[in-house]
A and B are shown apart, each in its own frame.
Chain A
Amino acid sequence: MQESVKTKRLVVRLATAAVLMFGFGFALVPLYEVFCDITGLNGKNFTQGPAAITAVDRSRTVKVQFVTVNPAEMPWEFKPTERTMRVFPGEDKVTAFYAKNPTPEWMVAQAVPSVTPSEAAQYLHKVNCFCFDRQPLDAGADTEMPLVFVVDPELPKHITTITLSYALYDLTETDNQQVTLRSQDNDKGRASL
């Protein structure tokens, strides 16, 4: 019957649309990453490695604040050695973060950075950062983890303060499982894990 053929075709199309939209839900994940990468939204976009910056802009200074966050189950002591710095855009700066593992067990952690305002994220170049790698610490051990960064002289004039926040995550359990994932990420030169 003509009618039932028409209905069947329509139902197949609609069901396909539903399946595609299910896929689209998952496609939003990489799309979101790409979107944030391109636009630098969400404070996620960090350029790392030596930046091609020669001139230092001595006409203004930018206040850089350091903030650390421990998620609920993270027992480490984790804090910046300096809370704020005044920097000239274009100038290489070095600072360090203190971490201590007070537990009686060996642990691995990694810091995930975030920049506020997110508009500033793409102007904060990290030449070297402890957040690029995992940080293993023996029971009771402590360490100072270095951060070398430079603020791009292109930074829009209305931004006078940049806050760099690190959340430190316990990766002891997942360490072995995710080694491959991590090395791939490093190949691509991604800052966030």
Chain B
Amino acid sequence: MATVDVDLPHVKDEDPHHHGPAKGIGRWLFTTNHKDIGSMYLIFSLCMFMIGGIMALIIRAELFQPGLQLVEPNFFNQMTTMHGLIMVFGAVMPAFVGLANWMIPMQIGAPDMALPRMNNWSFWILPFAFLILLSSLFMPGGAPNFGWTFYAPLSTTYAPESVTFFIFGVHIMGASSIMGAINIIATILNMRAPGMTLMKMPLFVWTWLITAFLLIAVMPVLAGVVTMMLMDIHFGTSFFNAAGGGDPVLFQHVFWFFGHPEVYIMILPAFGIISEIIPTFARKRLFGYSSMVYAVASIALLSFVVWAHHMFTVGMPLVGEVFFMFATMLIAVPTGVKVFNWIATMFRGSMTFETPMLFALAFVVLFTIGGFSGLMLAIAPADFQYHDTYFVVAHFHYVLVPGAIFSIMAATYYWLPKWTGHQLNETMGKFHFWLSFVGVNVTFFPMHFVGLAGMPRRIPDYALQFADFNSMASVGAFIFGFSQLVFIYNIIQNVRVGEKATAQVWEGANGLEWTIPSPAPYHTFSTPPKVD
């Protein structure tokens, strides 16, 4: 990003028209303040991360040994399903929306989001969506147990009755995401400070702009596919029912038309965050700013023509397999551009290794490992061996946990002093980082091996030869899971106490958000700054 020279007329809360937050619960229920809403999104996401994490630990506890020890197979399936849904829609996506709410107005010099009331609404429908989804755990027949990808007819003809609640939950989350995306696009396109041209925007803003367009393009398709399920289940249609002339394979096509862009929705903002953090701690400008922007845009465009690589084994003709194989591999090119740019940014920089930087570096290394296993999966003839094995599980957890989740943790540590006004406790931050880093790798790396050896995913029991690697993965999962208590402790401690943070916070940080005092006042940039 270009160095931003700012002329700040006033940023303090002295204007008589400005007021602080309202008192009591009403502040949170009726707030239209982007910082309040951002905080609520982040706290909500953290709660969901913990709930989804408990489910993951139930899964790993059952898989610690071969045989059935702790849970019924049906409950195990409910856990894998709910874990996936909650982590994707409840933890990762709201966390990025929360970061967008907090940071985008501050990074582009806007006083708030473009549509503050809709912002309030798009947050407040989310807890209800997840209450509906989680309530299905207590219903007769249990929660959805058909996997987070809810393939028909497993999710229609053979689904537990609670599937209808799942469908409405997905509708509400979809509505929330679409409203959030509209708000973000309107903010970025219309509310930038004078002089903040598109190509001067911080990369976090750029990646979110592109992500928001992806959300608007595919969340309605998800709403469409669950609506078709609803109609198949309750209104006698046969979209996915072969007996009525429908086609279950159609479900997979429509789902993955949503699903593949969705996985980029979960990683593009992460790219943005990493592109903010690495220059700060390398004390150099980001290498290849414009190539980064174009790389993100081309990844987003390519995401629409690769969906069938999730379904190489459904019986596609050779032409289809070849097309989707090469289209998928093409994505490695812009992704490679990004990885090399991050490395070039660090090259000969004067680097320091504060907690956000450690998470960012782990992101670059571990996300790249996940990217490479993705390339392996993209090879259509080899995919027949990998399909539906733990190799797939290892792959997407490598891109989502040390990818998306680590970037969210990095962002939290990076911007926390700006939010709370307290400097980070580096010792505790590093403690959290190393526990998480070791935990993640011990959990997910062995999954590559059992996957290649043929262990199928989504099963509560497995053959004896997989026992060692599985117990190793379970130990890692518990280390990673419990180390998140350190994360929560760090956040709470930082809110409560800590050395007073300066406006600059990090020596090498650049951008409008570092020109306002820490903690950021309730209202910022009421008068737009001038960016040269």
Contact = CB atoms under 8 A, between A and B. Distances in A.
Nearest to B215: A18
B186 A25 contact: no
19 contacts: A3-B190, A7-B186, A11-B186, A20-B220, A21-B221, A22-B220, A25-B225, A25-B228, A25-B258, A26-B224, A28-B250, A32-B247, A44-B247, A112-B242, A112-B243, A119-B318, A167-B242, A167-B243, A185-B245
A14 B216 contact: yes
A53 B14 CA distance: 89
A26 B228 contact: yes
A126 B223 CA distance: 39
A117 B220 CA distance: 34
Interface residues of A, number: 42
Nearest to A167: B242
B182 A42 contact: no
Given A29-B254, A118-B317, 9 more contacts: A11-B114, A14-B185, A14-B186, A21-B217, A24-B221, A25-B220, A32-B253, A112-B245, A167-B243
Contacts of B181: 14
**Interface residues of A, dominant DSSP:** helix
A28 B186 contact: no
B40 interface: no
A177 B242 CA distance: 17
A28 B218 contact: no
Interface string A101-125: 0000000001010001111000000
Interchain residue pairs A-B with the least CB separation, the first 9: A25-B224, A169-B243, A22-B220, A21-B220, A25-B221, A193-B245, A14-B182, A18-B220, A18-B178
Contacts of B190: 3, 6-7, 10
Main SS at interface, chain B: helix
B50 interface: no
A25 B243 CA distance: 22
Contacts, number: 105
Nearest to A112: B242
Contacts of A20: 220
B9 interface: no
Contacts of A193: 244-245
Nearest to A168: B243
Interface in B187-206: 189-191
B254 A25 contact: yes
Nearest to B224: A25
B236 A177 contact: yes
A176 B138 CA distance: 37
A15 interface: yes
Contact of A43 (B221, B228, B315): B315
Contacts of B320: 41
Contacts of A112: 242-243, 245
Contacts of A24: 220-221, 224
Contact of B186 (A10, A43, A117, A167): A10
Interface in B226-282: 227-228, 236, 239, 242-245, 247, 249-250, 253-254, 257-258
Q: Which of A15, A21, A174 has the most CB of B within 10 A?
A: A21
